Amino acid sequence: MLYLLLLILLKLWEEFCFLRGTMRSTEQLTEEILSLPNELRALLADKLVESLEFVADPAIQAIWVTEAKRRRDEVRDGSVQPIPGEDALAQVRQLIEA
């Protein structure tokens, strides 16, 4: 997912640079970014994701609010027992590796 977002942003950057007359190819920009240390690449990725403006469809947002409330109520009434996040991730990893 993040990789796809970066590809989209790189394409937009290429178009922006073209309009400014400072054209750099996507490949050049990618090479420069990938040469950065891990910490800086992570920071850049975080900033890029933050900069995206997601327009949420009100109907979809309402469905997710209803789902979140339903799940909250299931935990509160005891019909569902929550598990620690680390355990949930371990279960997902097992399913993926299987």
In this structure, what DSSP letter does residue 23 have?
-
Give the largest Cα separation in the chain, rounded.
62
The stretch 73-88 carries a mean pLDDT of: 93
Residue type at position 65: V
pTM assigned to the model: 0.42
Q: Encoding tokens for residue 75?
A: 């935990």
Q: Encoding tokens for residue 92?
A: 């997902």
Give tens-digit pLDDT for 23-75. Answer: 567 788 888 888 988 888 888 888 888 888 777 788 988 999 999 999 999 99
Q: Encoding tokens for residue 13?
A: 């950057």
pLDDT band at 15 (very low <50, low <70, confident <90, very high): confident
Angle between helices 26-34 and 38-51 (to 10 degrees): 130
